[in-house]
Amino acid sequence: MRITIIGAGFTGGTLATLLASDSDETTEVCLVGVEETFARGVAYGETRPEHVLNVRARQLGADPDNPEEFAEWLNLGRQGREGFLPRLAYGEYLADRLQKAKDRANNLSLLRQEAIAINRIGDGFRVHLDDGSYFASDRVVLALGALPPQRLTGIGPRLARNPRYIAWPWQDDALDQIDPGARVLVVGTGLTMADVVASLANRNHRGEIVAISRHGLLPQSHPATPGAPIELPPSVQQALRKHDVRQLVAAIRSLSHVVPDWRGAVDALRPHTQAFWRGLPTPERARFLRHVRSYWEVARHRVAPEIAGLLDGLQASGRLKVRAARLLRAGLRANSAEVLIRERGKDQIQVEQYDYVVRATGLDTDVLRTTHPLASHLREAGLISADEQGLGVNVADDFEVLDHHGDRVPGLYCLGPLLRGHLWEITAVPELRTAAKALAQGLQSESLAAANSRGQSRSLERELVLSRSF
């Protein structure tokens, strides 16, 4: 059985490594991905030296059975394992890990090309590549990662084509063109904004940076040293069992006042988040996304202490201003970008001038509005359907994709951030490696069953031949 994994970032590479074998003669695995970020993905391929990981080194092993593998790969001591290392180093780890799997396996091939279309052919699929070639596959796994950023609402057509608008900060070293004295508007105040500010600060930027988002919330910081884990009290456990967003928020707020560090309360929720989300009715999911999501994101997805210190220092000096505001319109003028902004809770619209506008709105998994070639093709062909909250792809519990009728597409699976609509907590390494292990085990079982079925068919054919000969 041939299994094709499309997307060679963390998720695709981890799944390929789990399926790689020097003895499995029943499964052929092909990992397909673009050359530029192969094995590393966008998160660790399109990165810069000043960007650090948002998780401690000891927790980042891609091996589901060995979370400390990354720290062991670097031969880190006790103190180093608690540190937040450069993302470039993590990219090197992923690339080395995949190459070693390729070297020792006889069933794994790596194809550095972009898959642009998938067609259903009989019981399998035909995968089309960007050079016009194609091949057949029995199973296909979509491990596309986050989708390309969408165009910001309100960006005028002339500005959209001008260097003063930077739609993707890491493409072609876009930030290097910004003059150190330039006034910069960053749309977004999350993790991507923190990376943008770190890159500008690393280039000795001295001009004013203004960051805006709906709530104007910055990511919280990890503590310098990890705190002790806590046990969830009955009030929180009851809210989790009842799948009640309002009750859960109230219980966590109460808990945060009595534990040594509120971050321990948030971290203690993590093993329960996927089950809680899956049990939420659609109206409750909508309530969470509308009222809680922004606060959850900054509390759950935190930055390294050194990055938090950088942001605090820039704010104290007045070089970074964070505002709760919405971008209404941005157009190109002779020597600047003219921007219309409305502050949260105010009716007045402010007209401001900036030298550059940078989009830093973070993770995008909306397959309904994406420009991603393959995701768009699959949606238009009806092979995938969009989660109604715009969080990704609809799937069954075993990650098999549901089509536009809500029916399973046998043999087509999805893995990674596009599962947010199904699991919500599926963008970080611990959840991704666990999901990859579960899918790998399912695919291996399928392959073994198919091999046994073929073996039985061949035995029956031999018996028929022998019976005819007599």
Comparing 39-48, 121-130, 290-299, 389-398, the range with the smallest average pLDDT is 39-48
Write the CB contacts of 275 (distance below 8 Å, at least 6 apart in sequence). Answer: 240
DSSP per-residue string spanning 146-198: SPPPPPPTTB-HHHHTSTTEESSTTGGGGGGGS-TT--EEEE--SHHHHHHHH
Rounded Cα–Cα distance for residues 358 and 356 (Å) = 6
Give me the amino acid identity at 467: S
| Half-sphere exposure for 186 (CA within 13 Å, toward CB) | 32
Name the one residue in this structure whose structure tokens are 């910069």.
184
Comparing 223-237, 372-386, 393-407, 454-468, the range with the smallest average pLDDT is 454-468
- Is the four-CA dihedral 464, 465, 469, 470 of positive or negative sign? negative
Write the pLDDT tens digit of every residue in 19-40.
999 988 889 999 999 999 999 9
Q: Where are the alpha helices (DSSP H) in 180-281?
A: 191-202, 234-242, 245-256, 262-278
Rounded Cα–Cα distance for residues 110 and 93 (Å) = 17
Domains identified in the chain and CATH numbers: 2-51+86-148+365-454 (3.50.50.60), 157-221+302-359 (3.50.50.60), 238-289 (no CATH)
Rounded Cα–Cα distance for residues 7 and 286 (Å) = 30
Rounded Cα–Cα distance for residues 111 and 81 (Å) = 34
Given a cut of 60, whether residue 466 has pLDDT beyond it is: no
pLDDT value at residue 45: 86
Given a cut of 80, whether residue 457 has pLDDT beyond it is: no
What's the chain's length in residues?
A: 470
Q: Which of 106, 105, 108, 86 is nearest to 40 (CA)?
A: 86
Number of H helices, E strands in the chain: 16, 16
Comparing 75-84, 183-192, 385-394, 444-453, the range with the smallest average pLDDT is 444-453
